[in-house]
A and B are shown apart, each in its own frame.
Chain A
Amino acid sequence: MKRRARTRRCLATTAVLALTLAACSSDGDGGDDGRVTLHINGQPPGTDERELRVFEAEIALFEEEHPEIDLVPHEGFMDPETFHTRVAGGDLEDVFYVYLTDPAGIIEQGYAADLTDHLDDVPHLDQVRPELHEVFQDEEGRQYGVPTANYSMGLLYHRGLFERAGLDPDAPPTTWEEVREASAAIAALGGGVTGYGECATENTGGWHLTAEIYSTGGGVAERDGEGWRAAFHTPETVRLLENLRAMRWEDDSMGSDQMRSCEDVMVQMGAGQLGMYLGAPDNLPTLVRQYDGDYEDLGLAPVPDGRGTLLGGEGYMINAGASDEQIEAALTWLQWRFVNPDAVERRIEEAAADELPVGLPTPPTPDIWVEGEIRESVEALKERHANVPVENVRPFMEGAPTVEGRIEPPRAQEVYAILDNVMQGVLTDEGADIRGLLDRAEDDVNRVYGS
């Protein structure tokens, strides 16, 4: 009896182990009945009920229209911390979401499929702004992804605080000097209100500084033969940083807590305690939904100085291991879902019915189209169905076509980490030597490009 009990315990232990190991292994999938199976991410979390409902409805409709394609959705977007381990573990979806910061590295490491030979027959793709396509191209112009949204940087400001400070909310600052003046006026309101805010940690300081350097017409990196070299140490950048230092230390209009992430800055804006910061249109719905902001209070203007702006946004890439059939199916899905002017009106109506914002340069009407018929019709629909005060973003939209959009520098995250120090130096050290900070950053960036 005892031996039998022991044997049973042994078998049970072995079974548990075997089950555990089996659970760790991949579940194996593939098309059945000639259907192409596609694992896609980008599914909103269960906590975001409205977005999830819209997403699920889109999946169902697509599968109805394309019975030969079976979509398997996965929750989540781009998580840089797990992305590479998922690649290593073979768990990366066939179609995966990226920020416009990511494609350069992903292409270099060979994680995405070359789509170039599959793009000719994809409708409307040639009507997407070429600088967005450029983000997904390698140096030979081969394309590895599809841009689906564009959020170029602008000046996000609090119209209510502008009014309280005696400033005209319909005439936001157009230069960095005017930003300084407005910032001082807003900070003078007191009660913990600050005029202008900056992100400074986790590479966001470098990211913002890059956007600001672009706004003055400068660049962060330039070609040096086959490679690249730093190009930001210019008199314009010094002037820009001196203006920032004056806001922080002479006018005291930026508050004293400077080691902040962009989320901290958004919390302050949502609470009506911050006058201005550099941000993109996608910040608007986030400020309202997550940080208690109000569309009536928020305005968006072109980036100060307006000689260039940093392009941001999102898109999708396709796993390097995808078959030709999967690539074709993936492009069918991406075009249908994101580059589809024929579905704009339906999506606008659904978004409005779900009380999601309509009228902003964000999905369901992302600002991705070149000047022309499609752009005009989307803009007209957007205006007709708008359920948020679009006049508050009109300065940005009117200025957008004239401000040159520029992509991020090569090895962006490493460069941003270095430029973080410049931003932090100016904001946390009253006696910071701006030229010294730029000298050091220039050496460090050139070392990165040289390695």
Chain B
Amino acid sequence: MSTPTARRRRLGEHVTAYGFLCAALVVFAVFAWYPAVRNIVLSFQEVNFVRGSSWVGLENFRRLLDDPLFATAWRNSALFTLYALLLGFGVPFVTALLINEFRHARAYFRVLVYLPVMLPPVVVALMWRWFYQPEGGLINEVLGTAGLPTPEWTNSSSTALISLVIASTWANLGTATLIYLAALQTIPGELYEAAELDGAGIWRRIWHVTVPQTRFVILMLLLLQVIATMQVFTEPFVMTGGGPEDSTVTVMLLIYRYAFVYNDFGAASAMSLLLLVVLAVFSAAYLRVTRGQQK
């Protein structure tokens, strides 16, 4: 049994730690939890920062459902996520496999692949806007020189969304590649040797050794990518403004418009709440996967 003096001493020893903990708690409370709670409250209010806000029940949600752009934005975000998974999921994995095969200059390639991640997202978006220009843009200049057809890229409603996915994949594949690379390097070499002795070719080695061994990382990145791509904003905001003809309006872009263009913070909050619910499902799946792995 500890004496009061000993308890006081222990408490005293931990005061500094508690102080730092308090600071973290205050920061989280002020900058993360309070805004989240406030968002939920605002989504049920008609917001006015001077006269005071009034409760309107589900009116903001009703108005959102009335807006034809609501469905368009969700469809575009879902399509962006799907394309980003098809393109942005496979490319880093293959890139990591390739880099892993190099015996020399692996670090050099790692840096090369990671470089785009170090560029500010807005810079990347502006750069790709220029790449995509139908006349004088880098891509069409190259395609034109090679005698290939030159698409309209962001100037056409049929190719604008996929153009954004390509730019986004280029900008973000570095992180996923490095994570895959780290996972690949934890696979014991004996497994590959055993597979080779059994006569397995490169594809069978990938399918029967690499994929099972990196299953957890693949699943984790898949969920993280869904969570990130559903919130895509910078690319459509900078590169297309949501056009042509609303073909690149995403959920986040519509939230932005409601809040900062139409000054309708109630509807913006309601839409954010819906996005939160959708992302919460994926986040719960992510937590389940990571917890299962830890066990």
Contacts and interface: CB of A to CB of B under 8 A. Distances in A.
Contacts of A261: 241
A255 interface: yes
Interface of A: 3, 6-7, 9-10, 13-14, 17, 80-81, 84, 87-88, 105, 109-111, 192, 200-203, 205, 255-259, 261, 320-321, 411, 413-414, 417, 420-421, 424-425, 427-429, 444, 447, 451
Nearest to B258: A414
A28 B106 CA distance: 59
B292 interface: no
Interface of B: 12-13, 15-16, 19-20, 22-23, 26, 48-51, 63, 66-68, 133-137, 152, 154-157, 240-246, 257, 259-263, 265
A80 B260 contact: yes
A421 B16 contact: no
A3 B12 CA distance: 8
Nearest to B48: A109
A205 B19 CA distance: 54
Contacts of B243: 200-201, 205, 259, 420-421, 424, 428
Nearest to B14: A6
Contacts of B242: 201
Contacts of B50: 87, 109-111, 320-321
User: Which of B13, B67, B243 has its CB near the most chain A CB atoms (within 10 A)?
Assistant: B243
B152 A256 contact: yes
Contact of B245 (A257, A428, A447): A428
Given A428-B155, A447-B66, A84 B260 contact: yes
User: Which of A80, A109, A256, A411 has its CB near the most chain B CB atoms (within 10 A)?
Assistant: A256
A88 B49 contact: yes
Contacts of B157: 424, 428-429
A416 to B, nearest CB: 9
Given A202-B241, A256-B134, A428 B66 contact: no
A200 B257 CA distance: 16
Contacts of B136: 192, 257
Contacts of A424: 157, 243-245
Contacts of A420: 241, 243
User: Which of B13, B22, B50, B67 has its CB near the most chain A CB atoms (within 10 A)?
Assistant: B50
A325 to B, nearest CB: 20
A429 B157 CA distance: 8
A201 B66 contact: no
A17 B26 CA distance: 9
B16 A6 contact: yes
Given A13-B19, A429-B244, A203 B48 contact: no
22 contacts: A6-B16, A9-B16, A9-B19, A10-B16, A13-B19, A13-B20, A17-B22, A80-B260, A109-B48, A109-B50, A109-B263, A202-B241, A255-B135, A256-B155, A257-B155, A259-B244, A424-B245, A428-B155, A428-B157, A428-B245, A429-B156, A451-B66
